[in-house]
Amino acid sequence: MKSLFEIYGWPLTTLFSACVALWLTVLIVAPQFFMAELSLRFEDRGDRLTKIVNDLDVLYREKGTKEFDLENGPACNTMGMVNPVMTNESSCTPFGEEDRLRVEQQVHEIEDRIQSLLVEEQNLKKIKAQQFPYSIRNYTAMTGLHAWTLTKTVAFSLIVTLIALAACYPVAYAVALRSGPVKTGILFTALFIPYAVNELMRIYAWLTVFDLHGLLNTLLAIIGIASFASDELIVWYRFPGTVLVVLVYTYILFMVFPIYNTMATLDPNQVEAARDLGAKTWRIHWRIIIPHTKPGIAVGCIMTFMLAAGSFSVPHIITRGLQPKWFTQLIYDKFFESSNWNLGSAYSFTLLLICILFIFAVMASFGVKLRQLAR
C-alpha cells in the first residue's frame, strides 16, 4: 500500500482501494454471505404451516369462483375461469333462489375456514419466530441420489483435470522450450482461433459430432460398423465420455496457459546442462522442468477443476437428459424448478466448499503458496 501511495499518490490510491473494496463486498462477500445464511434456514415443506398456506391458496380460489358464480351465473364459469365462448349476458344463466342461498352458505363456510386458518397461521408464525432459525438440516438432507450426484460430479471434474493436464503439459513444453518464435506464434494462433467463438457455439458444434446422424456415426457407417438404413446407430449422448471430451476441450486453455507462462521463465541453459551431464529426458522433466512449473500446474488444475465442477451448459446440452444429472443441474432444479432457495443455497455452498478444499489440497500437494499462485 505504501508503494502505491508513492507511485500514484493518495487520491488515485484511495479511489482504487475503494473500488476494489466495493467490488469484493458487492460481488463476492455479500452474495456468499447471503447464500450461506439462506442455506442454514431449513424450509420444512411438509409441516403444518406450509399446509396451511397451500390450503389458504385453494380456499381463496374456491371463494373467488363461487362469488363469480353468484354474480354472473354458473354457465359463465368453467374450471374457475370465464368461459371464452359464453361471454355475453344472454348466455349466463342466473341462479334460482334456492341455489343462490346454497352457494352463499358455501361462501360463508369458506370464509369461516379461511379465518380459522389465518388465526392458526399467525399462532404458528409466533411460535416459529421464537425458535432458533438456523440448522444444518439442508446439508444433512443431501443423501442418497443427490450425494451420489455430487460425488460423480467431483470425480468427473478430477478426471477432466487430469486429462487436460496430460494433454497440455507436452503442448506447453513444446511451445515454451522447443519452438522458435514463428512456431510458437502458429501454435498459439491454432489454440486461440476456436476460442474466438462463443462458448455456447463451441458446445453446440460438438452436437454435430455426437448427434445420431452426426460425424462419428457417419464415419462408422462408411467403414460398415453403423448403418443409417437399419437405424443401427450409436447414441453417443448416453456415454459419460462425451461430457468429459467436451469439458476438456472447453476449458483446456485454462490449463495450458498457466503451465506455459511458468515454463517459459525457465532458463533453457539448465535443461541443456542436465542433458550434457547425461540426464535422461524423463529425469530432466522430473528434477528440473516440473519443479519449476509447479505453480503453473497448480493454477491450471485449480481453474480447470473449478470450471468443470461448476459447468452447467456442457452437461445440460450434450447429454440431452440421457445421462444422470450434473450437480449444477441439480442446483438449478432446486432454485428454479422446486423454488427451494434454501436447499439450493446449501447445495451451492457445498460445491463451493469442495472447490476451496481442492485449492488447498493442490497447494499442499505441489508445495506452493498462495503468493506463488498469484504471480
Q: What pLDDT, in 10s, does the model give residues 90-147? A: 455 666 777 788 888 888 999 999 999 898 888 877 777 776 678 888 888 888 889 9
Lowest-pLDDT range, 19-28, 170-179, 203-212, 365-374?
365-374
pLDDT at 75: 54
- Of 176, 170, 172, nearest to 268 by C-alpha is 176
Lowest-pLDDT range, 253-257, 276-280, 369-373?
369-373
pLDDT at 90: 45
CB 289 within 8 Å of CB 266: yes
Question: Between 220 and 89, whose confidence is greater?
Answer: 220
3-state secondary structure of 227: strand
pLDDT at 85: 43
- H or E, element range at 81: strand 81-82
Backbone angles phi, psi at 261, to 5 degrees: -60, -40
Report the residue count for the chain.
Answer: 375
Q: What's the mean per-residue pLDDT of the chain? A: 83
pLDDT at 80: 43
pLDDT above 60 (res 10): yes
Question: Grid coordinates standing for 318?
Answer: 450434450
Between helices 199-210 and 240-251, what is the axis angle to 10°?
150
Long-range CB pairs of 347-351, under 8 A, 24+ apart, other chains included: 347/142, 347/146, 347/150, 348/35, 348/39, 349/32, 349/35, 349/36, 349/39, 350/139, 350/142, 350/150, 351/150, 351/153, 351/309, 351/310, 351/327
pLDDT at 81: 46
pLDDT above 70 (res 198): yes
Centroid of chain to Cα 55 = 34
Whole-angstrom Cα distance, residue 84 to residue 81? 9
- Cell numbers 459447468 label which residue? 311
pLDDT at 11: 79
- Cell numbers 535443461 label which residue? 271
Residue 74: which pLDDT band, with cuts at 50, 70 and 90?
A: low
Class of the CATH domain delimited by 144-373: mainly alpha
Whole-angstrom Cα distance, residue 266 to residue 274? 13
CB 4 within 8 Å of CB 13: yes
Facing residues of 81 across strands? Answer: 78
pLDDT at 331: 93
Whole-angstrom Cα distance, residue 14 to residue 1? 10
Section 2-11 average pLDDT:
70
pLDDT above 80 (res 43): no
pLDDT at 84: 44
pLDDT at 32: 85
In percent, how much of the chain has pLDDT > 90? 27
pLDDT above 90 (res 88): no
CB 274 within 8 Å of CB 288: yes
- Of 302, 309, 316, 304, nearest to 154 by C-alpha is 309
Domain ranges in the chain are 1-39, 48-134, 144-373
Residue 79: which pLDDT band, with cuts at 50, 70 and 90?
A: very low
pLDDT at 161: 96
Section 294-306 average pLDDT:
94
pLDDT above 80 (res 276): yes
pLDDT at 222: 87
Question: Between 187 and 162, whose confidence is greater?
Answer: 162
Question: Between 13 and 229, whose confidence is greater?
Answer: 13
pLDDT at 45: 66
CB 299 within 8 Å of CB 344: no
Helices (H), the chain: 2-24, 30-39, 48-72, 97-130, 137-140, 145-177, 181-195, 199-210, 215-222, 240-251, 253-263, 268-276, 281-284, 290-309, 313-319, 327-332, 341-366, 370-373
pLDDT above 90 (res 65): no
pLDDT above 70 (res 153): yes
Section 340-350 average pLDDT:
90
